[in-house]
Chains A and B, each alone.
Chain A
Amino acid sequence: MAEPGPTRVLLTEEGPALISGPVELELPDGTRVRSDRAVTAVCHCRRSKRYPICDASHRRKVRQEGPDA
């Protein structure tokens, strides 16, 4: 649904930029990625395996070794 006023983009501290409404993202090579979600999380940390869409790869990871490690 169209919101009155400009498109809102929320830049989060730890992860993606959140963009309201459907968006089309164009990458440097001309590839276009479309998202119809009410909110789209655009990767800002470049760690996403689905760049430019956030896949939560920005999360802190804690390694747990196996019993025989």
Chain B
Amino acid sequence: MTATLEPNFLQQVAAPDLPAPRGPLSEAVVEALRGGPLRPVDPAGAEPYGDDLQLALHCCYELHYRGFAGVDAEREWDPEVLGLRRELERVFLAALRADVEPGENVPAEVDALLVEPVGPGVRGVSHHLQREGTLEQLREYVAHRSIYHLKEADPQAWAIPRLNGAAKAGLVTVEHDEYGSGRPERMHALLFAEMMTELGLSDAYGAYVEHVPGETLAEVNLMSLCGLHRSLRGASVGQFAMVELTSSPGSERLVRGMRRLECGPASIRFYDEHVEADAVHEQVVRRGVLAPLLEAEPELAADVVFGIRASLFLGERMGERLLGCWDRGETSLRMPLAPGRP
């Protein structure tokens, strides 16, 4: 390991800079957070999954996580910003409700997620990276994923006080594991940061927000949206279940891809840990979270299905963006990454 002057990931406290706006909505939010007045904007008619609306939402949500450099932490509860956030959320949520087929059969939904498609006809980012992706494409994938994984488990933690009894205990069991089971050096966010450093990427929180497109921000914004609204707690659990139920085989494919690309031990460790961890989490989420939640609050079934399908829908959009760009020989990011360290 090379010596570094940067504080390691667990010691980082600096908040990221506000990103450059990508349109009128994100410009209004960024300008307001810089201290200017909140210019009246109308999100109705904006592209619901587009860069502008998703970046605007991302900035609103980040006030609840680490905030931004130079922005007073109290802006988290600024009624004007919250008011605009609500309008942005309405557009996003309405689009998802329209694009996602409703359903109420959670066991059938779970069974479908537990069938693993295999063979040469399966199109997916992890399949591509396992079989033939380049190291550059793998680095891009990690940059996309950093928006979530550097705060891994945080968006779902909002759901804890919104659940009761066994479902709460089950969710905390999984979250505790995500946070390293009391050992900071095992926190999944840290394992991800160590992988980034090894791949020559910056592990600074928010370092790649400028690079990633709306498709990537939308996936993480869905997590924050569902976590921050008690009315969407069923969807939050559904989103969490989708990740935990599908991550183990995907992580195994990434481990194989990384071995093929001769990545270092920290890179392999992150996904290797998730093969085993998520094989357990799948069981705990099904038996310890979904089952008791639906027994206590059966009326949440439709929201759980919505959370599962909305996160699948956004995941497929993001996957298509990456694979489409790579098919055309282009970067999947808004700007290329700086070259990795040798």
Which A positions have Cβ atoms within 8 angstroms of B? Answer: 10, 12, 15-16, 18, 36-41, 49-50, 53-56, 59-67, 69
* A54-B280, A55-B252, A63-B117 known, 9 other contacts, Cβ within 8 Å: A37-B177, A38-B176, A39-B283, A50-B275, A55-B248, A62-B117, A63-B118, A64-B119, A64-B120
Bound-state CA distance A50–B252 (Å) is 11
Q: How many A-B residue pairs have CB under 8 A?
A: 79
Which B positions have Cβ atoms within 8 angstroms of A? Answer: 114-122, 173, 176-177, 181, 248-249, 252, 275-280, 282-284, 287
Chain A positions within 8 Å of B277 at CB level: 37
Contact B119 A40 (CB under 8 A): no
Known: A59-B249, A60-B115. A39 touches B120 (CB 8 A): no
Known: A61-B115, A69-B120. A38 touches B279 (CB 8 A): no
Chain B positions within 8 Å of A56 at CB level: 248-249, 275, 278-279, 282
Known: A36-B181, A38-B173, A50-B276. A59 touches B283 (CB 8 A): no
Question: A10, A37, A65 — which one has the most chain B CB atoms within 10 A of its CB?
Answer: A37
Bound-state CA distance A45–B275 (Å) is 17
Known: A39-B284, A50-B276, A54-B280. A61 touches B118 (CB 8 A): yes
Q: Which of A16, A38, A69 contacts B177 (CB 8 A)?
A: A38
Bound-state CA distance A59–B115 (Å) is 6
Chain A positions within 8 Å of B275 at CB level: 50, 55-56
